[in-house]
Chains A and B, each alone.
Chain A
Amino acid sequence: MRKKGAQGMAAALLAVTLLAGCSSNNNGNNANGAAEGNAAATPAANASAEPSNAGTDTGSTESWKQDTSPFKFSQYFYGNWASAYLWKDQYAMKLATEKTGVTIDRKLATGNDDDYLNTMIASGDLPDTIMLDWNNPAVTKLINNGMVYSMDELMDKYAPEFKTMLDPDMVKYHSVDGKLWYLPNLFETADRLTSGVPITPIRPWFFRDDIYKAIGSPELKTTDDLMNALKLAKEKYPDVSPVGVENFDVAKNGFAGSLSMNFLISSFAPNLLEERIKDDTQIVEYPMRNKGFIDSFRYMNQLYRAGLFDSQLLIYKQEQYEEKLYGAQYAAASQYMTNMYTQYNPKIESTLGADQKYTIIGGLQANGQDPRYAASRLMGWQGFFITKNAKNPERIIRFAEYAWSDEGQLDARYGKEGETYDMVDGLPKFKQEIMDLKLKDNNAYNAQYGFDDSTLLMRAGKLWDDASARDFQEQQPEQFAGAKLLEKYNFDSYSLGMDNIEPDGSSPEGVINGKVKDLWNKTIPKLILSETDADFDNAYNDFISQMNKVGAEKAEKVMYQRHLEDMKKKGVQ
C-alpha cells in the first residue's frame, strides 16, 4: 500500500530513489529568446497546430514564454500536513514566479482531506487546479462527472510541444478511456532499482543507541531476537516505552493499518503479494486472509502481552507519537529513514545528546525465512488536475509545461546557478551552507528554500537524479549505509501487477471494500490487545466471517480483474 503521509512524501521527495533516465525528448528547452517575438500570435492560431509540426510556428519556443504577465491560479493540495508546501515566499517558488509570472495560491484542507475534497466536489466549487493522489477514489468522480479538463485537449490547443515531452510509458499507464486527465508527479522508469542507489521500500525500525549498548548489543537477526532485546530494554529502562509504532488507520494507511507494520509483515509474510494472487479461482485475496500477514499482528499481540507494547499507542495521534520520538522515549521505534536521519536524529543529538540517537535494525527473519521487501518503481504520487472552473486553463497548462521542462525541474529543485548551486562535473550541487541547512535543520531549509516542496510535476530526470544520488552517498553516509543494509531483501514487484487494484470507490464493490476496511480497522485493536491466543483467534475468525458476509469475495474478484488490467497497462503479461 503505497499511501504516503507527510513523511512518506518528504522521503520520496528527497528523491534519493529517483534515479531514472529522463525519457522526454525535450529539445526545445534551450531558451530561445528570439522566438519570443512570435508570442504575439494569437493562441487560436496555434490551437489547431499539430504537435508534430509545431516546431515551425510559435511552438519552437516554450509555450509559457508567450505570456509572462502576472497571473495567479488557485490550487487545492490533498494533504493537510503539507504546511511547508504552501507557495509562501520560498526561494524555489519565487523563482518560478519571477520567470513565468505565475503564482500559485495553494490551499490545504483545514480538517479531514477527503471531507474537504468531497465537499468541494458535491458543491461543484472547485479551485482552478487540484493536486490529488492519482489513485484516490475521488479521481474517478472528477473524471466521470466531467469536472476536469483532459490534458490532451489543453495541450493540443495551447501547448502542443508539451506532449512530446511526456514519457510514453507514463501516458500509457495513466490514460483513462484513451485520455490523460492529469499529470502525475514522481512517475519513475525501470532503472530505479538498478541505478546503484539503495532503496528502502518499507519503513524500518530503529533501536536507541545507548539502550542497545546497555543491553549488550545483542544480535538482532530474527523477530525473536527483537522481542528478547525489548524485554531486556524494559528491564534496564523501565521509564522508556519499549516499542513505538505509528497509529493505526486502515482507511489512511491501507491494510497494514500502520505504516510501521510493513517491516514486520515483510518478515512474517515475505511472499505476500504473490500469495494473494489466486489465478485458479480468479481472485486477488485480501491480505487479511494470509497467515503470515496475520502472524505479524500476532507478534504485536505477543509484544502487548509481554508488556512491551503500550496500548496508548492505539489512541495516540500523530503528534503525540512524534513528540515522544523527538524525546527519544522509545527503545525501538519505526520511522521513515529520511525523517529519522534528517529530522529526529539531528534534533535528538542537539537536545539530548548523540548517544540517544537511533540506529537502524536490519531485516528480521521470522519462522526461519528471510524477509522480502516489495520494491517497485513509483507509478506516480499526486496527479495535477485542471478543473473546468479554471478561469484561464491556457496559462495553467503552459505553466505546467514550464514545470515539467528540464529548466523548470532544475529551478524547483536547485534554484539559480551560482546563487544556490554550482555545476560540479556536469551535475548540480547545492552551495555547502544550503546543504548543511538541509541536513541539520530540515524545517528551516523547507521554510527558506522550498526546493523539495513545490512537488508540482516533479519527475525523474538523469541530471538531478544523478546529483541527488551523489549527494545522498556523500552527505548522508549513515543513511546510505542503512539503506544498503536493507537493500538486499528487495525484490522488484512491478511485474506482479498489484498497483492500484482496489475497486473503484463509487462502484458496488468499492462500497464492499470500504466496509471490509472499516471492519478490519475495528479488528486490529482487538487483535493486538487480546489477552489470550483464544481471544485473538476469536476476534480474527469473527472478522473473517463478517468480511465474508459483506461480500468480500466480490471485491476480490474485481481486484483480480484490476490486477490483470494493471499488467496490461504496464505491458507485462
Chain B
Amino acid sequence: MSSLPSKRFWQQRYLMLLTLPAVLWMIIFNYIPMYGVIISFKEYTPFQGFLHSPWTGLANFRELFNDPTFTDSLVNTFKISIAKLVFGFPAPIILSILLNEVVFKRFKRIVQSLTYLPYFVSWVLVVGLMYTLLDPETGVISKMLVSTGIIGSDTMMMGSPHTFLTLVVFTEIWKNIGWNSIIYLAAIAGIDPQLYEAAIVDGAGRFRRIWHITLPSLKPTIIILLILSVGGLINSNFDQMYLMQNSMTQDAANVLSVYSYKTGLVIGRFSYGTAIGLFQSIVAFVLMYIANYSSRKITKESLF
C-alpha cells in the first residue's frame, strides 16, 4: 500500500517530466522572490542587504494602519474593485450568450474579433486615447455626450472624481469583454446540442433555453472565475490606475498598488512599500479562501 504513490509516480514519470519546467518556473519566479517580503519587517538598507538589515518587527504595519492615505487607498481599492466586479464580471457572460444566439456566423466572427482586439492594446495607449477623445474642447466623444445632453459642456471627464469611477469600469469592460468571453464561448460550445433539441421539442423559447440550459451549463465556469475574481478584488489594475490619475483625480485613483509603488519606489521607502504589498496579498488570499469555501458549501463547486 505504502509503495503505491511512488509506483504511480514512476508510471507517470514522463508526464512529470513534462510539467517540470512549469514547476521550476513557479519556484524561480513566484516562490523565491517571496523571500523578499521579509524586508517589510525590517528597515531595509541596500548596503546591508536582505539578511543583515535591522529588524523592526511590526513597526511598518503599525504605521500603515495609522496612515490616512493608506486607509483612503484601501477604501478606493475596494470601491473600484467592487464596481468592476459588479459590472465587469457579468459582461462577458452576457456577450458570450448573445453571440451564441447569433445565427449569422460571419457577423458573429466579426463581432468576436472586434471585441477582443482592445485586449491587446496597452493601457498607455488606451489612456492616451481617452485623453484625446474626452477632451472637452476637441474630443469627439465629449462633444457627442454634450450634444445629447448627457454631460454639461464644461464637464472635464478625465479630470473629475465623479466621472472617474464610471470611466474606470467602462474602459475595463471595453478592454476585456471580448477576451474574457472566449472561455464562456468554449464552455457553451461544449454543451450537448441534444439538450437544446429536446428543449425545442418541449416548446421552450429562446429565453427559456438560455435560462434552463446555457446558464446552468456555464455555472461551474462562472463559479471558478468568480472565485478567482474575488481573490483579485484588492488588486485593482495598477497600469490603469496609475495612468488615469492626474492632479484632479488623485484622490479617487490612489489605490493600494499605486500607493505601494509611490512609497516604495518613488520615495524609496522600500520596507514600507513592501509592507503595503504584503498586506494586499494577505487580504487577497483570505478573500479568495472565503469565496472558495462559501462556494463549496453553497454550490458544491470550488477551486480547491
Chain A residues with a Cβ under 8 A of chain B: 112, 114-115, 117-119, 121-124, 137-138, 141, 144-147, 247-249, 251, 311-312, 314-315, 505-506, 511, 514-515, 518, 521-522, 524-525, 529, 546, 549-550
- B240-274 vs A, CB cutoff 8 Å, 1 = contact: the mask equals 00000011111100000000010011111110000
Interface centre among A114, A141, A315 (most CB of B within 10 A): A315
Is the CB of B100 closer than 8 A to any CB of chain A?
A: no
Question: How long is the Cα–Cα vector from A75 to B14 in the complex, in angstroms?
Answer: 50
| A306 CB to nearest chain B CB (Å) | 14
Say yes or no: is B46 at the interface (Cβ < 8 Å to chain A).
Answer: yes
Give CA–CA (A549, B251) in the complex, Å. Answer: 18
Measured CA separation A506–B45 after assembly (Å): 11
Verify B247–A114 contact, CB threshold 8 A.
no
Q: A311-B159, A314-B247 are in contact. Are A514 and B267 (CB under 8 A)?
A: yes
Contacts of A514 in B (CB 8 A): 267
Closest to A136 in B: B268
Interchain Cβ contacts under 8 Å between A and B, 7 examples: A112-B266, A114-B268, A118-B265, A119-B265, A122-B270, A312-B159, A522-B251
**In the complex, are the beta carbons of B47 and A315 less than 8 A apart?**
no
Of the four ranges (under 10, 10 to 19, 20 to 34, 35 or more), the interface on chain B belongs to 20 to 34
By the criterion CB–CB under 8 Å, are A247 and B247 in contact? yes
Q: Are A121 and B248 in contact (CB under 8 A)?
A: no
Interface contact A147-B46, CB-CB below 8 Å: yes
**CA A311 to CA B137, docked complex, whole Å:** 12
Given contacts A145-B45, A525-B247, contact A314 B159 (CB under 8 A): yes
B50 CB, nearest partner CB in chain A, Å: 11
B281: chain A residues at CB < 8 Å are none
Confirm or deny: B217 has a beta carbon within 8 angstroms of a beta carbon on chain A: no
A137–B263 Cα distance when bound, in Å, is 13
**Knowing A145-B46, A315-B159 touch, does A114 contact B248 (C-beta < 8 A)?**
no
Contacts of B246 in A (CB 8 A): 314-315
Tell me the smallest distance from the CB of B49 to a CB of chain A, in Å: 8
Query: In the complex, A52 Cα to B158 Cα: how many Å?
Result: 64
Q: Tell me if B268 and A145 are in contact (CB < 8 A).
A: no
A247–B44 CA distance with the chains assembled, in angstroms: 34
Contact (Cβ within 8 A) B265 A522: no
Q: Are B47 and A118 in contact (CB under 8 A)?
A: no
Residues of B within 8 A of A (CB): 44-49, 68-69, 131, 135-137, 156, 158-159, 246-251, 261, 264-270
Q: How far is the CA of A119 from the CA of B137 in the complex (A)?
A: 39
Name the prevailing secondary structure of the A interface residues. helix
Closest 4 CB pairs of A and B: A145-B47, A315-B246, A118-B268, A315-B159
Cα distance A550–B267 in the bound complex, in angstroms? 17
A residues near B68, Cβ cutoff 8 Å: 546, 549-550
Contacts of A119 in B (CB 8 A): 265
Chain B residue contacts of A524, Cβ below 8 A: 247
Enumerate chain B residues within 8 angstroms of A144, measured Cβ to Cβ.
Answer: 45, 47
Distance, CA A390 to CA B172, complexed state (A):
46
Q: Given that A145-B46, A312-B136, A521-B247 are known contacts, is A114 also in contact with B159, CB under 8 Å in the complex?
A: no
Tell me how far the C-beta of B239 lies from the nearest C-beta in chain A, rounded to whole angstroms. 12
- Contacting residues, chain A, for B46 (C-beta < 8 A): 121-124, 141, 145, 147
Do B268 and A138 touch (CB < 8 A)?
yes
Which of the listed residues A122, A521, A522, A529 has the most CB atoms from chain B within 10 Å of its own CB?
Answer: A122
- In Å, the complex CA distance between A522 and B248 comes to 8
Known contacts A315-B158, A515-B69, A546-B68; decide if A115 and B265 are in contact (CB<8 Å). Answer: yes
Interface residues of B, dominant DSSP: loop
Contact at A114–B265, with CB atoms within 8 Å?
yes
Q: Residue of B at shortest CB range from A114?
A: B266
Instruction: Tell which of B246, B247, B261, B269 has the most Cβ of chain A within 10 Å.
Output: B247
Q: How many A-B residue pairs have CB under 8 A?
A: 87
User: Known contacts A118-B265, A546-B68; can you find 13 more A-B pairs with CB under 8 A?
Assistant: A112-B266, A114-B267, A115-B261, A121-B46, A121-B268, A122-B44, A137-B268, A145-B48, A315-B246, A505-B268, A506-B268, A521-B247, A522-B247
Contact B250 A522 (CB under 8 A): yes
CB-based contact B266/A118 at 8 Å: yes
Contact status A115-B47, CB under 8 Å: no
**B261 proximity list for chain A (CB < 8 A):** 115
Q: Which B residues are CB-close (under 8 A) to A249?
A: 247
Of all chain B residues, the one with the shortest Cβ separation from A529 is B248
Which among B47, B68, B270 has the greatest number of chain A C-beta atoms within 10 A?
A: B47
User: For residue A123, which residue of chain B has the nearest CB?
Assistant: B46
Q: Taking each of B131, B246, B250, which has the highest tally of chain A beta carbons within 10 Å of its own beta carbon?
A: B246
Considering the complex, give the chain A residue whose CB is closest to the CB of B266.
A114
Chain B residues lying within 8 Å of A112, measured Cβ to Cβ, are: 265-266
Closest chain-A Cβ to B189's Cβ sits at a distance in Å of 42
A123 to chain B, nearest CB (A): 7
Task: Known contacts A122-B270, A145-B47, A314-B159; decide if A521 and B250 are in contact (CB<8 Å).
Answer: yes
* Closest Cβ neighbor of B49 among chain A residues: A124
* Distance in Å: Cβ of B81 to nearest Cβ of chain A: 22
With a cutoff of 8 Å between Cβ atoms, the chain A residues found around residue B265 in the complex are 112, 114-115, 118-119, 122
A146–B52 Cα gap in the complex (Å)?
Answer: 15
User: A119 CA to B261 CA in the complex, in Å?
Assistant: 11
CA distance A488 to B12 in the complex (A): 88
Within the complex, what minimum Cβ distance (angstroms) separates B154 from chain A?
8
Quote the shortest CB–CB distance from A472 to chain B (angstroms). Answer: 36
Across the two chains, which residue of chain B brings its CB closest to A239?
B137
B268 lies within 8 A of A315 (CB) = no
Known A-B contacts A146-B47, A546-B68; the reply to A505 vs B267 at CB < 8 A is yes
Bound together, the chains give a CA A117 to CA B45 distance in angstroms of 14
Question: When chains A and B are docked, how far (Å) is the Cα of A505 from the Cα of B270?
Answer: 13
Please give, as numbers and ranges, the residues of chain B lying within 8 Å of A117 by CB-CB distance: 268
Q: Given the complex, which residues of A lie within 8 Å of B248, measured CB to CB? A: 311, 314-315, 525, 529
Nearest CB on B from A249, distance (A): 7
Q: How far is the CB of B64 from chain A (nearest CB, A)?
A: 12
Most chain B CB atoms below 10 A, which of A123, A145, A521, A522: A522
The smallest beta-carbon distance between B72 and chain A, in angstroms, is 10
Q: Are A141 and B267 in contact (CB under 8 A)?
A: no
- The reply to whether B156 and A518 contact each other, CB–CB distance below 8 Å, is no
CA distance A122 to B68 in the complex (A): 26
A115 to B159, Cβ gap below 8 A? no
In the complex, the answer to whether A315 meets B156 with C-beta atoms within 8 Å is: yes
A521 to B136, CA, bound (A): 24
Report the bound CA distance from A434 to B130 in whole Å.
Answer: 43
Knowing A145-B46, A147-B47, A525-B248 are in contact, say whether A518-B268 is a contact too (CB < 8 A): no
CA distance A248 to B270 in the complex (A): 26
Chain A nearest CB: distance from B286 CB in Å? 28
Residues of A within 8 A of B269 (CB): 506, 511
Task: Give min CB distance, B78 to chain A, whole Å.
Answer: 20
Smallest CB-CB separation from B264: which chain A residue?
A: A118
Complex CA gap A312/B264 in Å reads 30
Say which residue of A118, A248, A546 sits within 8 Å of B247 (CB atoms).
A248
Q: Give the residue name and chain of the A residue nearest to B48 (CB).
A: A145
Please give, as numbers and ranges, the residues of chain A lying within 8 Å of B49 by CB-CB distance: 124
Q: Whole-angstrom distance from the CB of B269 to the nearest CB of chain A?
A: 7
Measured between beta carbons, the chain A residues less than 8 angstroms from B45 are 141, 144-145
Residue numbers in A under 8 Å from B266 (CB-CB): 112, 114-115, 118, 251
Min distance, Cβ B149 to any Cβ of chain A, angstroms: 21
B61 CB to closest chain A CB (Å) equals: 15
Residues of B contacting A505 in the complex (Cβ-Cβ under 8 angstroms): 267-268
